[in-house]
Amino acid sequence: MNFKDMASDLGFDEDDFTELAQLLVTTSLSDLKKLENGVDLKNTDKVAKAAHSIKGAAGNLGFIKISGVAAEIESDARRGSLTGIEKKIKTIKAGLNAIMNAIDQ
């Protein structure tokens, strides 16, 4: 994960991008808790809203895989399905962990 190139693509310097990436991780972890709570309650509306937030934040910073998986979750939830969501949540968590590792380097 090359923050310098990602920052440049968005017109940011690397330090500003790193701060935004940290904010993304923090807010996305909070949204993931909401999403998981929605799954526990079988509340697809709550799941869709949390996934939408993650999708937008990740997409705006160029974290396409996280955004794409969140989009899948949102779409599934809007159709009333939570099938296979656990694997998708794990994929998002892995992506956020990769961002945190890149920040720490």
Q: What ranges do the domains of the chain cover?
A: 15-104
Contacts (Cβ under 8 Å, ≥6 apart) of 47 = 35, 38, 39, 73, 74, 77, 82, 85
- CB 39 within 8 Å of CB 47: yes
Give the pLDDT confidence of 76-90 residue by residue, as tens digits: 999 999 999 999 999
Tell me: the pLDDT tens digits for 23-67? 999 999 999 999 999 999 999 999 999 999 999 999 999 999 999
Q: Which fold has domain 15-104?
A: Four Helix Bundle (Hemerythrin (Met), subunit A) (1.20.120)
Residues 6 or more apart whose Cβ sits within 8 Å of residue 60: none
Q: Which of 92, 91, 99 is CA-nearest to residue 3? A: 99
Q: Is the pLDDT of residue 1 over 90?
A: no
Q: What's this model's pTM, rounded to 2 decimal places?
A: 0.93
Quickly state the pLDDT bin for 97 (edges 50, 70, 90).
very high
